[in-house]
Amino acid sequence: MVRQKNTKLKPKPLSFISKKLIWIGLVSCIIIFTYFSIQKEMHQFPITTVKIDGKITRISKQEIWGSISDLLKGGFFATDVVAIKTSLQKLPWIETVKVEKTWPDKLTITISEKVPIARWRGKGLLTTSGDILYTESLNEGSKLPVFWGSEQQAKKVLENYLAMNEELKRNNVNVVEIEIMPDQGVRAILNNGIMLFLGQDRLLEKINRFNLAYRNKLQKMSQKIDYVDLRYVNGIAIGWKGSISKIYLDEILNDHLQNFV
C-alpha cells in the first residue's frame, strides 16, 4: 500500500517573519532619512541673485518680485522655473518670459513686454499681438491711432490697419482712426483729415484706387475734401466740404476733376 506524502507546508518560524519586518522597517527609515536629508541640502542653496533682463517700462520690479518671491523659498534645486514663468505671464503687460537657473544661486528672468499700437475705443490700449489692455492711464497712447469695433473684432481691425497703412505710405499718408461699423463696413480717417468709406470687402483694391486718384489730383486739393466714398465698383464719390460729387477714375485721369471743384 502506497502512502501519500503530506504536502502541507510547514509554517515559517516566527524569527524569519520578524527579520523580514525589521528589514522593511530599516529600508523605510533609510528612504525617509534620505528624503529629509535631500530636502535639507536643497534649502542650503538659496537663490541669492535674481537678474531681470529685457526692456521693461510698464512693469515694475516690485510687481515681478511680488509674483515670484514665494516660489524661491525652496532653494536652488526646488525652484521650479516653469512655475515662475507661469506666474509672471499672468501680469498684464508681459508678452514672453524666459527663466534660467545658474549654479549655485542665480536666477535670470528675460522679459519682453507687450507693445501698444493703438488706443482701443478710448478706454484701453491694443497691442501689436491684438490683445486689449484696459489701463487707468492712457497718457502713453495719446499719439497712437484710435481703433473702434467690438472686442471680438480687435484683431481684424488691427489686420486692416496694417494692410491699409502699408499701401497708403506710398503717398505719405497714414490712418489715424479706423472703425468696423455696425454694418461691418470699414471707415478710416487719414492724417490729412480725409475720411475713407471702404465697405466690407476688397479693402486693398479700394485703397489702391484711392492711391491712384490721390496721386493724380486729390492730393493738391486735399484740404477741400471731407470724405472719399470707395464703396462703388469702379468709381468714387467725393464729399467736398459743402457738397458731394460722384467721380469715376477715368475722369480723374483725364483731367476733368476741375468740373467738380
Question: Which domains are delineated in the chain?
Answer: 49-113 (3.10.20.310), 146-260 (3.40.50.11690)
What is the C-alpha separation between 114 and 58, in angstroms, rounded? 9
User: What are the Cα distances from residue 207, in Å, to 164, 165, 174, 198, 252?
Assistant: 7, 9, 11, 8, 16
Contact between residue 139 and residue 147 where contact means Cβ atoms under 8 Å apart: no
Percent of the chain with pLDDT over 70: 74
pTM for this one?
A: 0.73
Q: For residues 154 and 159, give the distance between their C-alpha atoms in angstroms, rounded to a whole number.
A: 9
Q: Where does the chain have alpha helices with state H?
A: 14-43, 61-68, 75-78, 81-88, 154-168, 203-216, 249-253
Residues 6+ apart with CB under 8 A from 139: none
pLDDT band at 261 (very low <50, low <70, confident <90, very high): very low
259 or 3, greater pLDDT: 3
Does the pLDDT of residue 129 top 70, yes or no? yes
Whole-number pLDDT of residue 257: 46
User: 3-state DSSP call for residue 71?
Assistant: helix
Give the CB-side neighbour count of residue 150, counting CA atoms within 13 A.
6
24-64 pLDDT tens trace:
766 666 666 555 555 555 556 788 999 999 988 888 889 99
Angle subtended at Cα 141 by Cα 139 and Cα 143, rounded to the nearest 5 degrees: 105
User: H/E element holding 244?
Assistant: strand 243-248
Q: 58-62, 64-68, 84-88, 109-113: which has the minimum mean pLDDT?
A: 58-62
Q: What share of the chain is helix, strand, coil (3-state, %, to 5)?
A: 40, 25, 30
Q: Edge-to-edge strand order for the sheet containing 235-240?
A: 132-133, 124-127, 116-120, 146-148, 175-180, 186-190, 195-199, 225-229, 235-240, 243-248
